[in-house]
Amino acid sequence: MAGLYDWEGEPGWDESIVIKSFAVKGQKIDGRHAVVSVEYIQVGTLGGESFESSQKVEEITFKLIKKGGRWRITSPIIPPHVSVLATQRHVEGLVRDEGEESAGKWSKTLDALKALSNQ
């Protein structure tokens, strides 16, 4: 991700926003600067060991700068927005890495994510 943004370091995120989809709604380029609006269809938040369902449409306007021939985001700094399938695979990987005893603590989260991926 570091190649996509133009700020020093990144916060240690405690949560990620789980999205169904996103769409670029508009863009304006002025030389080395750009503004891009993106609409996210959110389905929930993964924080700690739990998933909280929430249906929401969010529009974020990103500011970018072109450096070394590549566009990089300068603002805003937002928590990761991750697809349902990628979140599900991440949690399944945690269960594999932590062992089967962790399956119980992740079972509700995995059930919710699987239901969302089947929609």
Structural domain for 88, as ranges: 2-117
Domain tally for the chain?
1
Q: pLDDT at residue 101 above 80? A: no
Lowest-pLDDT choice from 55-59, 83-87, 90-94: 90-94
Phi/psi region, residue 109 (left: phi>0; alpha: psi -120 to 50; beta: rest), is alpha
Residue 7, pLDDT score: 66
Confidence bin at 100 (pLDDT 50/70/90): confident
Confidence bin at 99 (pLDDT 50/70/90): confident
pLDDT tens-digit map of 17-60:
999 999 999 999 999 999 999 999 999 999 987 899 999 999 99
What is the reported pTM? Answer: 0.84
| Closest alpha carbon to 73 in 23, 17, 7 | 7
Residue 118, pLDDT score: 79
